[in-house]
Amino acid sequence: MQYTRVLLIFIILLFRVPGALGQTFELGLAAGGSGYMGDLNQTDPLKISGISAGAYVKLNIDPYWAVGVHYTYGKIEANDAESKNSQFRDRNLNFKTALNELSLQVDFNFLHYFAGGGYKKFTPYIFTGIGGVFYNPIAVHHDREYTLRSFQTEGQSQPYRNYAFSIPYGVGVKLQIKNNLGMFSQIGYRTAHTDYMDDVSGRYPDPNVWVEDNYVAERKFLSDPSNSQYGAPGIQRGDFRKRDTYMFVGIGISYTFVSQKCYTF
């Protein structure tokens, strides 16, 4: 859980910044879609596979720079059976997972803007930061759900972690609606420090790697659910990239509280 502890330290420091009360304090809500790129979706960075929703609290340091704490919930999924690629259909893997992300993000506005003032009523912006995400991939076969990490489908000696460090980055547009009320739209990607968001990373294992127990038949099936014994031991299950990527896109509203102590931008 070291990533979570590091992120919490940054959050505490954010709200202990001297003079923070003299700047503009912003709350926001957003909703939209989510997607992912990884071993079951290797080529389409704009594919939406689920919903997303989030909230944030932000300090506008000046009309160009802002720093905030964001929480985002989303859902992603992919299914080889629905792929246009015949090799993927033969492989026959699938997964779905909820995402719970907490991040510290920095915005840069290209124009002199914030919803409580500023010379411009809109601005494009970019953002980046650091974060952590919790995930737990599930597969569905014959109307039954399987929590994949507990089955060690690639012959791991123990289940992989269900959380990972992530790097958010993206672009958006902000628009002042009225007084302190704003609206924004953005698309943001996250590079996750894991290749197991979809339970696929390495190679098909030797079936003898698993201890004979009550679950060994399910492990073998979940590792290779194809009808043609697609996954011979040692064959790559997915692509060779070592990081999965997920994405949130949507629109939102914000409200900016301008302190009486705030200097004029």
Q: What confidence tens digit (pLDDT) does each residue in 101-139 have?
A: 999 999 999 999 977 667 889 999 999 999 999 999 999
- Distant-in-sequence, close-in-space partners of 214: CB < 8 Å, separation ≥ 6: none
Structure confidence by residue, pLDDT tens digits, 170-192? 999 999 998 889 999 999 999 99
* CA 139 vs CA 3, 35, 100, 182: distances in Å: 27, 17, 19, 40
Q: Return d(Cα 115, Cα 106) in angstroms, integer.
A: 17
Mean pLDDT in residue range 60-84? 95
Say whether pLDDT at 252 is over 80: yes
Q: Where are the beta strands (DSSP E) in 110-236?
A: 122-134, 138-141, 144-147, 163-178, 181-192
The pTM assigned to this predicted structure is: 0.87
Strand partners, 170: 127, 188
Q: What are phi and psi of 44, to 5 degrees?
A: -115, 95
pLDDT in tens, 144-166: 999 999 999 999 989 999 999 99
